[in-house]
Amino acid sequence: MSDAKGGVDLGGTKIQAVVLDRSNEVLGQARNPTPTSGGPEGVAAAIVETLVEAAGAAGLEAAELTAVGVGSPGAVDSGSGVVASAGNLPGWDSPFPLGPTLQAALDTKVALGNDVQVAIEGEFALGAGRDFSSLLGVFWGTGVGGGLVLDRRPWLGRGAAGEIGHMVVRKGGAICTCGRRGCMEAYAGRAAMEARARALVKEGEPTKLFEIMEERGRTRLQSGVWARALKREDPMAVALVDRAIGALGAGIASAVNLLDVEAVVIGGGLGTRLGVPYVKRIENAMGPHLFVPERPPTVALAALGDLGGAIGAALLGEGA
Amino acid sequence: MSDAKGGVDLGGTKIQAVVLDRSNEVLGQARNPTPTSGGPEGVAAAIVETLVEAAGAAGLEAAELTAVGVGSPGAVDSGSGVVASAGNLPGWDSPFPLGPTLQAALDTKVALGNDVQVAIEGEFALGAGRDFSSLLGVFWGTGVGGGLVLDRRPWLGRGAAGEIGHMVVRKGGAICTCGRRGCMEAYAGRAAMEARARALVKEGEPTKLFEIMEERGRTRLQSGVWARALKREDPMAVALVDRAIGALGAGIASAVNLLDVEAVVIGGGLGTRLGVPYVKRIENAMGPHLFVPERPPTVALAALGDLGGAIGAALLGEGA
């Protein structure tokens, strides 16, 4: 048995695995697309394969890992290892015992957690949050996820805390991907931003967004597409990102007014891709809404980058 | 020395004192108006006087109390006992050592806390929150104050947590009494509701609100005035209270989406006065914004009533 542990970030489009040593240095990593067929069993098999690859890159067998942590979307029951309501995973129509399935296949302990929460705990332990005792993490991607560390401990509420994307920033406002109105995510989530861009194009507004998407061989406005369109100063991209930043500023400031945390860490696909200048813009957009503006929280970009989710998951496995 | 402890709720218009026995039963109480002249020294003297009256009602001298707790508005430094930024207390222009001043005058230990937080801790320990381990308290009065108990412990952040009234419910919306835009309090705080009513009257809209205010010998639309106007089905009062409830629903649901607490307790002047039917209406207004609607928090009216702030303060003193 080695001292190494595994971590997996299970996403709607990709599965990222890492193997960390005792000091949490990355010994190996691997990434594969999330299978689009085969349902939960297929996803579980792809997780095992990706983890075996990452272990191989570290010169290890998967069974040599002391433990494996998995950050999963959906409703994760960390006790039973069952994942439900994972709508953005293909064919995940009913609750599936992901933890036990992986444990049997890998022959090592497996711990499950919510993907966003796990990534935020990673930032707290090793990344941009490591100097603070309280932290709000905001993951700006397809949706807007969140998570909390309060007094050095994760705050999960009754299991569903952290839904900062569904804080109301404009009562009666835009329809959100969740079906409700005025949520922060209705303005700032990449899926909502894309839907808005498609609607504006239908109304005849010009943009290079979809041209760039096709150039890049994509069918969705992924973070890189937005980044390129901003670089080309595409007016629609600029306007929609401005609108997103305004919503993020109001929503995050509201959360800070309620919780008075020491730090806010911005991650996620768009956050990581757009980087520090846009984190600074979010910080500026929070300013007018902060109730104690003379003592704002530190606002920082997530420091663990693309591997953050998997690294956070590996730390979860440590306690398994 | 008795086993009794004292508690004081220091408000902008009144000072309420209670004396509790070891089982937290009320042995005596007294209430006086907050002096409008004399500055912090005058307020401190009135607190002492009110506490002496409450002790007298319990058959005790103030010096016989094991400890005294005070819930104060403003920025309360519980370590030093200094209260600053208490703008709604008359003449409180600079930080004042309220704790040491009271301690010297009363010859017993004095502990200070934020008025809203102390009242919410009282509800948690003895009132509507006593069956839960996590709680959001919302005090609906002149402003909208809030406080949190998470995992059975008060969550104060860096000292300024709980400002639920300044969560943004309508970005770019109404100007709040704090000077910012779109805060929940800009729609739901009694001061903002009164300002809106006065503006509507200037625009020629009819209402019985100010007539009732004069009948009651008031110069402000206090909670009882709103309650009477609602009873008479005054259209302006009904519309402004509806608007307040909509804002409370969106803001409280946002907080619940972020924190997933077990319970929400509604108190404060308006909350207590309007009572259970309006708490039910706030609960209904939260519904459309809850991210996990199938498992809403319990929403309850504060159970300790008008004495809640002082009772909560007395519990604070217990730990002094």
Nearest-angstrom CA–CA distance, A10 and B24: 52
Put simply, the answer to whether A258 touches B164 (Cβ < 8 Å) is: yes
Report residue A144's pLDDT band, with 50, 70 and 90 as the boundaries. Answer: very high
Q: Tell me which chain B residue has its CA closest to the CA of residue A180.
A: B289
A256 burial class (0-12, 13-18, 19+ CB within 10 angstroms)? buried
Contacts of B156 in chain A (CB under 8 A): 260
Each residue's pLDDT tens digit, A203-236:
999 999 999 999 999 999 999 999 999 999 999 9
Q: Does B242 touch chain A (CB under 8 A)?
A: no
Cβ atoms A286, A253 nearer than 8 A? yes
Q: How many contacts (CB atoms, under 8 Å) link A and B?
A: 132
A261 backbone dihedrals φ, ψ, rounded to 5° = -75, 160
- Cβ neighbours of B167 in A, within 8 Å: 167, 254-255, 257-258
Partner A contacted by B289 (CB < 8 A):
yes
Q: Does A134 touch chain B (CB under 8 A)?
A: yes
Q: Do A279 and A298 belong to one domain?
A: yes
Kindly determine whether residue A250 and residue B166, on different chains, have CB atoms separated by under 8 Å.
Answer: no
CATH of the domain at B140: 3.30.420.40
Q: Tell whether B44 is covered by a domain.
A: yes
| Tokens describing residue B66 | 């094991």
pLDDT confidence of residue A1: 59
Q: State the average pLDDT over residues A133-142.
A: 96
Q: Report the C-alpha gap between B282 and B293 in whole angstroms.
A: 14
Identify all chain B residues contacting A138, using CB atoms and an 8 Å cutoff: none
- Whether residue B232 lies inside any domain: the answer is yes
For residues A268 and A135, state if they share a domain.
Answer: yes
- Is the Cβ pair A160, B291 closer than 8 Å? yes
Q: Compute the average pLDDT of residues A125-147.
A: 96
pLDDT score recorded for residue B65: 95
Q: Is B210 on the interface with A (CB under 8 A)?
A: no
Distance of residue B290 Cα from the nearest chain A Cα, in angstroms:
8
Q: Same domain, yes or no, for B261 and B275?
A: yes
CB-based contact (8 Å) between A201 and chain B?
no
- For residues B106 and A88, the model is more confident at B106
Q: Cα dist. B209→B194, B200, B216, B246, B268 in Å?
A: 9, 11, 11, 20, 20
- Do B147 and B260 share a domain, yes or no? yes
How would DSSP label each residue in B119-154? HHHHHHHHSTTTT-S-EEEEEESSSEEEEEEETTEE
Residue numbers of the domain that contains B294 = 128-303
**CA distance from start to end of chain A:** 16
Pair (B297, B314) in one structural domain: no
Indicate whether A65 and A194 sit together in one domain.
no
Once rounded to an integer, what is the mean pLDDT over residues A146-174?
95
d(CA B155, CA A121): 19
Q: Determine, yes or no, domain membership for B123.
A: no
Report yes or no: A262 at the B interface, CB cutoff 8 Å: yes
- Does residue A111 contact residue A102 with C-beta atoms inside 8 Å? no
Whether B84 and B148 map to the same domain: the answer is no
B122 domain residue, yes or no: no
- Residue B79, C-beta contacts closer than 8 angstroms, at least 6 positions apart: none
Is A89 in the same domain as A139?
Answer: no
Q: Tell me if B120 is assigned to some domain.
A: no
Contact A292/B160, CB-based, under 8 Å? yes
| Residues in chain A closer than 8 A to B169 (CB atoms) | 168-171
Are residue B21 and residue B83 in the same domain, yes or no? yes
Q: Are residues A109 and A90 in the same domain?
A: yes
Hey, what amino acid is at B67? A
Strand, helix or coil for residue A199: helix
Number of independent structural domains in chain B: 2
Are B27 and B105 within one domain?
yes
CA distance B119 to B106: 22
How far is it between the farthest Cα atoms of chain B? 62
Residue positions counted in chain B: 320
Q: Tell me the C-alpha distance between A29 and A55, whole Å.
A: 7
Cβ contact A146–B258 (<8 Å): yes
Q: Is residue B121 part of a domain?
A: no
Distance between CA atoms of residues B269 and B193, nearest Å = 14
Same domain, B299 and B312: no
From chain B, the residues in CB contact with A254 under 8 A are 166-168, 254
CB contact A248 to B (< 8 Å): no
Q: What is the pLDDT along chain B (320 residues), one digit of tens a residue?
A: 579 999 999 988 899 999 999 999 999 999 999 998 899 999 999 999 999 999 999 999 999 999 999 999 888 998 999 998 887 788 888 999 999 999 999 999 999 999 999 999 999 999 999 999 999 999 999 899 999 999 999 999 998 899 999 999 999 999 998 899 999 999 999 999 999 999 999 999 999 999 999 999 999 999 999 999 999 999 999 999 999 999 999 999 999 999 999 999 999 999 999 999 999 999 999 999 999 999 999 999 999 988 999 999 999 977 54
Do the Cβ atoms of B161 and A258 come within 8 Å? yes
